[in-house]
Amino acid sequence: MDDILNKAFSKAKQHEMESGDCAQCSLSGIFEALNIENEDVIKAATGLADGVGLTGDGHCGALSGGTMAISYLFGRSKADFGDMNKVLRACILSKQLHDQFIEKYGTCRCADIQKKLVGRFYNLYDPAEMEAALKVGMADKCSTLVGEVARMATKIVLEEREKETLESRKSDK
């Protein structure tokens, strides 16, 4: 399990350092660690960066990406809209990720996280602000956070899959 978790961390961190977009990068790291290919889901995460649309006024994009991965694997399809159990399962697992995130970072709001990591919120639409953010090490700090969230979400996925396997074995007996 450690190899998979380390791969999720390193791939997500690497993607964030090289290309940015915390939501896409955490999701991509998780998918790569789990050998999942789905460009449409990764593309759908684009606008969730930096608290939605680079505003800082939403929850962390890495947390959004992790939640998307969990929902992709354990959520319900449109054909199952009447099945609230699938909704609850994805929500319970997503809440686990949220709670671990809050325990580690104290908040899930992007602007507040930036303040904790680098001292203040930076408006990434402004080139001077972007440059200032990079000078204070925001890329490194955020990429580490992205990697950590990818690891957290991947662990939740692996543990849930393990529970499924055990339950399946019990029902086969």
**Spatial separation of the C-alpha atoms in residues 98 and 67, rounded to whole Å:** 8
Residue whose pair of structure tokens reads 């940015």 in the numeric block: 20
pLDDT (tens digit per residue) in 123-168: 999 999 999 999 999 999 999 999 999 999 999 999 999 998 888 7
Q: In terms of pTM, does the model score above 0.85?
A: yes
What phi and psi, each to the nearest 5 degrees, are found at residue 109? Answer: -80, 125
Query: Which pLDDT score is estimated for 85?
Result: 87
Query: Would the pLDDT of 169 be above 80?
Result: no
Query: Which pLDDT score is estimated for 167?
Result: 82
Other CB atoms within a 10 A radius of the CB of residue 117 amount to: 17
Characterise 59 by phi-psi region: left (phi > 0), alpha (psi -120 to 50), beta (else).
beta
pLDDT (tens digit per residue) in 47-94: 999 999 999 999 999 999 999 999 999 999 999 999 998 899 999 999
Query: Contact 62/143 with Cβ under 8 angstroms?
Result: no
